[in-house]
């Protein structure tokens, strides 16, 4: 599975457009704990391994290297896990390095097969993410649709943010 995702800093004007054009689904609190591999630096390989805690659930996610220069699109594998602390212990026992934390409140909007996230990230402010799920043959087409949508919301394609929230917080 490929997560096709474009992201940008959010203006008040764009936020109003999203709220007027898309269906609000829910608001969730998320804390992401990013781990680094003991033998290779995920920062250099552009990969990510995280545990995400939400209001009600916990997920373990691996993200591969980004696929293009404009977006954050990448291969992604995610499983729901029953116990955050036990999952964290397993990764620590396997020598994964101490996790770094990203906290955010996420508003989820949806229309057709597109998800729009308005993220308020602690220490960074508000961002918008436009996301579609694709397989390898659909990837380019869905990326084009995500970029078109973000342009329609008033965001210049040159202002897309390819860095993760963790990368932004570290800089």
Q: How far apart are CA 145 and CA 156, in angstroms?
A: 14
Q: Which 3 state secondary structure label does DSSP give 76? A: strand
Catalytic residue among 34, 109, 139, 165: 34
Q: How far apart are CA 114 and CA 129, in angstroms?
A: 10
Strand partners, 1: none
Q: Which of 61, 101, 106 is nearest to 81 (CA)?
A: 61
Q: How far apart are CA 80 and CA 52, in angstroms?
A: 9
34 given a catalytic annotation: yes
Q: 1: which residues sit within 8 A by CB, 6+ positions away? A: 75, 76, 77, 133, 134, 135
Q: Which of 132, 22, 24, 29 is nearest to 76 (CA)?
A: 132
Q: How far apart are CA 93 and CA 88, in angstroms?
A: 9
Active-site positions? 34
């Amino acid at each position: 599975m490929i997560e096709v995702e474009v992201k940008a800093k959010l203006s008040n004007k764009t936020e109003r457009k999203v709220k007027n054009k898309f269906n609000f689904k829910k608001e969730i609190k998320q804390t992401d704990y990013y781990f680094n591999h003991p033998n290779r630096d995920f920062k250099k390989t552009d990969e990510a391994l995280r545990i995400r805690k939400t209001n009600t659930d916990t997920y373990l996610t691996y993200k591969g290297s980004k696929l293009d220069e404009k977006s954050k699109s990448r291969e992604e594998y995610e499983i729901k896990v029953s116990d955050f602390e036990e999952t964290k212990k397993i990764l620590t026992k396997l020598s994964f390095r101490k996790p770094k934390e990203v906290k955010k409140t996420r508003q989820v909007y949806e229309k057709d097969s597109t998800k729009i996230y308005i993220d308020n990230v602690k220490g960074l402010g508000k961002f918008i993410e436009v996301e579609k799920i694709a397989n390898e043959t659909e990837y380019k087409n869905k990326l084009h649709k995500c970029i078109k949508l973000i342009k329609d919301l008033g965001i210049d394609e040159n202002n897309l943010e390819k860095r993760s929230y963790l990368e932004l917080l570290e800089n």
